Amino acid sequence: MQTVTLTPKRSPTISIEAEMITPDAFAGKSAAEIGAIGAWEGNEEITLADIFDVAVDGSGDAADTKIIIDGDVPRVKRIGEAMTAGEIVVKGDVDMRCGALMSGGSITVEGDADSWVGREMTGGEILVKGNAAYYAGGGYRGETCGMRGGKLTIEGDVLDYLGEHMCGGEILVKGNARLLPGVLNWSGTITIEGDTTLPGGEMKSGTIFVKGKVLEMLPSYKDEGTEEVDGVMYRKYIGDLSRNGEGVLYVSV
Amino acid sequence: MAEMVIKNGVVYDPKNGVDGERNEICIKDGKIVDNVGAGAKVVDAEGCLVLPGGVDGHTHCAGKINTARIMSPHDMRYAPVAGLSGPEPRTKLLRPQVGYNTPNTHGIGYRYSKLGYTTIAEAAITPMMARHMHEEFESIPILDKLALVLLGSNWQVMQYIQDGDSEMLKSYMAWALLASRGYGVKIVNPGGGSNWTWGKNVSGLDDKVIDFDVTPADILVGLAEANEALNLPHSIHVHCNNLGIPGNITTTLATMKLLEKVKASQDRQVMHLTHMQFHSYTGTSWMDFASGSDQIADYMNSHDHLTFDMGQMIFGPAMTMTADGPTEYRNARMFDAKWSNYDQELEDAGGIVPLSYTPQHFAHATMWSIGLELALLVKDPWKVMFTTDNPNGGAFVNYPEAQVLLMSDKKRQEVIAGFPDMTMDRISLPNIDRELDWGEMTVMTRSMPAKMLGLDVKGHLGAGADADVAIYDVKPDKVDVSVEHEAVKKALSFAKYTIKGGEIVVQDGEIMALPKGKVYWVNAYENGIVQAEKDRLMTDLEERFKKYYSIQLSNYMVEDAYVPRPVEIRPEVA
Ligand SMILES: [Zn+2]
């Protein structure tokens, strides 16, 4: 078992591209080796040691590596990008695209996550204990397939376009979701325990559960009566008919 | 300028009858010459393949590609062809590069040069869009460029044809080339682009164009006759009606026959048909759709008034972008894909749809086969241009892949082995064992496109030609392309040397220098149209611009400042 602790040394104002903060990249490396890994701060090339105190305890492969970021890193982007195994725990906020393209392992963000958390993830689990911003579990700009697998849980609220272009996997939001969750979806399951607005716009297929209120409903959904799922009674809708969609939207009654 | 001599190369120069000979190539002042002095810089080709620089006579590299870029930010991260696609950071010499189907302008210049190509023809631009196209040309380094100007759904053209006023048609064609600093005449889905304004299309050569008493056949013959009357270096360049529709071979063959009655003004085709692969389908629906390449090839083998290009498909993501607006609407609906639609006022329609082709789908597998069948079944390589209709059939960085397919039956059979069974009774490719030799490949990628375009200084290595040369790390007398196709593909992807205008621009697959290319354009107006006819045209155009255009005639023409290194060609007046 290898534990890598990164303690933030300063609060950068310009975003830092740090896609190499993964168990895959850190496994088996010493503190000095990890500190020497390059990153970009704006257009300046820096090293991880410029922004973190690095401590390493033990050694292991990626699956056996745990990274602890011991504090807020609201300007550090792409933490855990494309990770395949292991664990990351951030004891604070993260910047955009945390866990993008990840295929395995787990990430826990104890604070808030900025936009595109879990973008195009194919496996593994992400837990955000605070809020997440736009496009949580969404796609890359221009692509037509977003999150494909794995599980993304957000205990707080999310902003617009949750699970945009989702192609698979599971999203759970315990708070509210703002506009258009599940927009342009192909597959996968989204559960929103709080309220939301205009869910499932242009959804082709896939499933959305809303346990709170739908503040505004799209007119292009067909009412299919009520249905009980896991002991909860829902009103069931099929759509989005504007795209000949066969998605299923359950709204708590 | 310094002199240069290329020694020890195995030279293919079909136009000059050179077929794999160890000739020296002498260069002086950017031109091929017969001799150079003793002090000339020596480039030792070490027994490698020496060809004229590649000429892409049909590509989409400026204009609509900008909208395609906006629609596909994800394209910038695609990197399926190592070293020729995807993000590449800035270097001391080079700008950063991104993309695959829609690279940035600089990337287009670098990557074509790495393939050994030195001249490209943007195949579809309306006069309205031409100014911006020239700005893009200016930021595509190294390559020489030219543009084909869309006239096949143009209101002026249709009006003058309807009026039977061949003088006005001629004057307008010459003026449109001048106004856009364009090189030749492009016709896309004649009449269909105009009908698309009303949400309609044409279904064949004899439909009426809405609000005009003309048919696609009238447009084709009218423009071909005007083109020949002006003695333009290139013939009309035609994308037929009914692209991509099962059974469209009927329209294609009828179009080919239709042009039998027009005489070419010079020693070249009277019509070039583009991306023939998309126009060679039999059947009545996608269920009984099949290759019609044998019928097209029979016709081509027994007639001499036409040339065509392949429009070869490449598997993977592609970007379709065409003035054929109704076709793109159909694509977008059929594939539930993103769609951009163009209305280019009086001049044409257009659309853009990103697609992806897969060998697992019988229709795509069949289309892939048709492109190769066409090139292999037509006996005379001087009738066939190598293209993928970049990036409609596939990105140009895949040219080596498709070139090697034409040279290796073994490679073709390997691909066909993965096709679904439903493909097999629709194609003839498995039974075609022809493998192109280097001479034939050189014709289809260099000499034929240059001849088809009427560019005397390109596509060959005789004295007087531009010193555009590609040297590849292939030993033609030692390599069996049929078997060693992977190594040959790699060699064709990264030229050992690309020499442009006498300057080494690529060495060992790396860009060495960034000269700015020239822009060829045709001025048939200045001397070709008499003053009285110019006056008559201007009187009519002033009226039409006032009535219909969103811009004024005085702001319309591309100024010289936009074409800083022009090569103006003035056709001889008949
Ligand atoms: Zn084209």
Q: How far is it, in rounded angstroms, from Cα B109 to Cα B144?
A: 10
Taking contacts as CB-CB distances below 8 angstroms, the residues of chain A near B77 are: 140
Distance B392 CA to ligand 1 centre (A): 7
Nearest CA to B159 out of B347, B381, B378 is that of: B347
Distance B59 CA to ligand 1 centre (A): 6
Q: B72–A140: do the CB atoms touch at under 8 Å?
A: no
Chain B residue with CA closest to A143: the answer is: B74
**How many A-B residue pairs are in contact by the CB < 8 A criterion?**
15
ipTM exceeding the 0.95 mark:
no
Is there a contact between B179 and B556 (Cβ–Cβ < 8 Å)?
yes
Domains of chain B in start order, with CATH, are 51-511 (3.20.20)
* Confidence (pLDDT) at B336: 87
Find the Cα–Cα–Cα–Cα dihedral A19, A21, A22, A28, rounded to 10°: 130
Closest B-chain CA to A145: B74
Q: Which contacts of B412-421 are long-range, i.e. CB under 8 A and separated by 24 or more positions?
A: B412/B372, B415/B359, B415/B368, B416/B369, B418/B359, B418/B360, B419/B359, B419/B362, B419/B365, B420/B360, B420/B361, B420/B362, B420/B365
β-strand pairing of A106-109 with A44-47: unpaired
Taking 90 as the threshold, does the pLDDT of residue A71 lie above it? yes
Spatial distance between the Cα atoms of B22 and B10, rounded to a whole number of angstroms? 5
Whole-number Å distance between alpha carbons of B75 and B436: 33
**Contact of B34 with B499, CB cutoff 8 Å:** no
- Tell me which residue has tokens 């290329």: B6
Amino acid at B197: T
B165's tokens: 């006023």
| Nearest by CB: A140 against B71, B74, B337 | B74
Cis peptide preceding A240, ω within 30 of 0: yes
Ligand 1 ion: nearby residues, β-carbon < 5 Å: B 123, 389
Beta carbons within 10 angstroms of residue A35's beta carbon: 18
In this prediction, residue B457 carries a pLDDT of 98
Contact A140 B75 (CB under 8 A): no
| B336:A141 CB<8 A | no
- Mean pLDDT of successive 10-residue segments in chain B (574 residues)? 92 98 96 96 97 98 95 95 96 97 98 98 97 97 98 98 98 98 98 96 97 98 98 98 98 98 97 98 97 98 98 97 96 92 93 96 98 98 98 98 98 98 97 98 98 98 98 96 97 98 98 98 97 98 96 94 98 87
- Which helix (H) or strand (E) element contains residue B344? strand B340-344
Which residues are B342's β-sheet partners?
B350
Give distance in angstroms: CA of A123 to centre of ligand 1: 40
Measure the CA–CA gap between B128 and B155, rounded to whole angstroms. 13
Contact B72 A243 (CB under 8 A): no
pLDDT for B573 equals 87
- Of the candidates A142, A204, A243, the beta carbon closest to that of B72 is on A142
DSSP type of residue B443: I
| Contact between residue A217 and residue A226 where contact means Cβ atoms under 8 Å apart | no
Residue B14's pLDDT is: 98
**Residue B543 neighbours by CB under 8 Å, 6+ apart:** none
Distance CA B279, CA B367 (A): 10
The Å distance, Cα B122 to ligand 1 centre, comes to 8
Strands B49-52 and B469-472: antiparallel
Instruction: For chain B, say whether A45 makes contact (Cβ under 8 Å).
Output: no
8 Å CB contact between B279 and B299: no
Do the chains contact at A243 and B336, CB–CB below 8 Å? yes
Instruction: Kindly tell me the burial class for residue B67, based on how many C-beta atoms sit within 10 Å of its own C-beta (0-12, 13-18, 19 or more).
Output: middle
Asked if the Cβ–Cβ distance from A141 to B73 is below 8 Å, we say yes
Contact assessment for residue A38 and residue A45, using Cβ atoms and an 8 Å cutoff:
yes
User: How far apart (Å, rounded) are the C-alpha atoms in residues A63 and B103?
Assistant: 38
User: What's the Cα-to-Cα distance from B175 to each of A238, B133, B187, B193, rounded to whole Å?
Assistant: 57, 18, 16, 21
| Tokens matching residue A215 | 């503040």
CB atoms within 10 A of CB B400: 21
User: Looking at residue B218, what DSSP letter applies?
Assistant: H
A243 touches chain B (CB under 8 A): yes
A136-144 average pLDDT score = 95
- The stretches of B152-215 forming alpha helices (DSSP H) are 155-162, 166-180, 192-195
Among A123, A120, A90, which residue's Cα sits nearest to residue A105?
Answer: A123
Residue whose tokens read 């496009």 = A135
Smallest CA–CA distance, residue A143 to chain B, in Å, is 6
Residues 6+ apart with CB under 8 A from A186: A144, A145, A165, A166, A167, A204, A205, A206
Task: Quote the strand ranges of chain A, DSSP E.
Answer: 2-8, 16-17, 38-41, 44-47, 52-57, 65-69, 76-77, 87-90, 106-109, 125-128, 151-154, 167-173, 187-192, 207-210, 222-229, 232-239, 247-252
First vs last Cα of chain B: how many Å apart? 37
Question: Considering only CB atoms, which chain B residues are within 8 Å of A141?
Answer: 73-74
Whole-number pLDDT of residue A168? 97
Q: pLDDT tens across A118-130, in order?
A: 999 999 999 999 9
> In this structure, which amino acid lies at residue B263?
K
Q: How far is the CA of A159 from the centre of ligand 1 (A)?
A: 42
Terminal CA-to-CA distance of chain A, rounded, Å? 48
Q: What is the dihedral of CA A68, A71, A76, A78, to 10 degrees?
A: 30
The predicted pLDDT at position A138 comes to 97
Q: Which helix (H) or strand (E) holds B238?
A: strand B236-239
| Cβ(B425)–Cβ(B239) below 8 Å | no
State the DSSP code for A73: B
Distance from residue B311's CA to the centre of ligand 1 (Å): 8
Eight-class DSSP state of B127: G
Q: At what angle do helices B531-548 and B166-180 cross, to 10 degrees?
A: 70
Distance CA A8, CA A73 (A): 7
- Note if the bond before B391 is cis, omega within 30 degrees: yes
* Alpha-carbon distance A91 to nearest alpha carbon in chain B (angstroms): 32
DSSP code string of B396-436? GGGHHHHHHHHH-HHHHHHHHTTS-GGGGGG--GGG-----
- CA dist A20 → A75, A183, B90 (Å): 15, 30, 21
Of A141, A204, A243, the CB nearest to B74: A141
Best mutation target, B70, B72, B74, B102, to test chain A (most A CBs within 10 A): B74
**Cross-strand bridge partners of residue B351:** B322, B341
Closest to B492 (Cα-Cα) out of B542, B442, B456? B442
Q: What is the pTM of this model?
A: 0.94
Phi, psi dihedrals of residue B567, rounded to the nearest 5°: -120, 105
Contact at CB, B73 and A144, closer than 8 angstroms: no
Q: Pinpoint the alpha helices (H) of B454-520.
A: 485-493
Tell me, in angstroms, the distance from the centre of ligand 1 to residue B114's CA.
Answer: 22
The values of phi and psi at residue B328, to 5°, are: -70, -30
Query: Which pLDDT does position A72 carry in this prediction?
Result: 97
Give the model's pLDDT for residue B403: 98
Pairwise CA distance, residues A229 & B203, whole Å: 52
3-state secondary structure of B249: helix
Contacts of A243 in chain B (CB under 8 A): 336
Among B70, B336, B355, pick the best mutation site for testing chain A contact (most A Cβ within 10 A): B336
Chain A residues whose CB is inside 8 A of the B72 CB are: 142
Give the minimum alpha-carbon distance from B418 to chain A in angstroms, rounded to a whole number: 26
Q: Give the residue on A whose Cα is nearest the Cα of B71.
A: A142
Q: Which two tokens stand for residue B289?
A: 């759709």
Nearest chain A alpha carbon to B76: A142
User: Which chain B residues are closer than 8 Å to A140 by Cβ?
Assistant: 73-74, 77
Residues of chain A neighbouring B74 (CB-CB closer than 8 A): 140-143
A residues 178-217 closer than 8 Å to B (CB)? 204
Closest CA to A34 of A15, A42, A23: A23
3-state secondary structure at position B453? helix
B-contacting residues of A 79-138, CB under 8 Å? none
Q: How far apart are CA A73 and CA B201, in angstroms?
A: 57
In chain A, which residues have their Cβ closer than 8 Å to the Cβ of B71?
142
Q: Cβ separation of B74 and A142 shorter than 8 Å? A: yes
Containing H/E element for B42?
strand B41-44
CA distance B426 to A207: 40
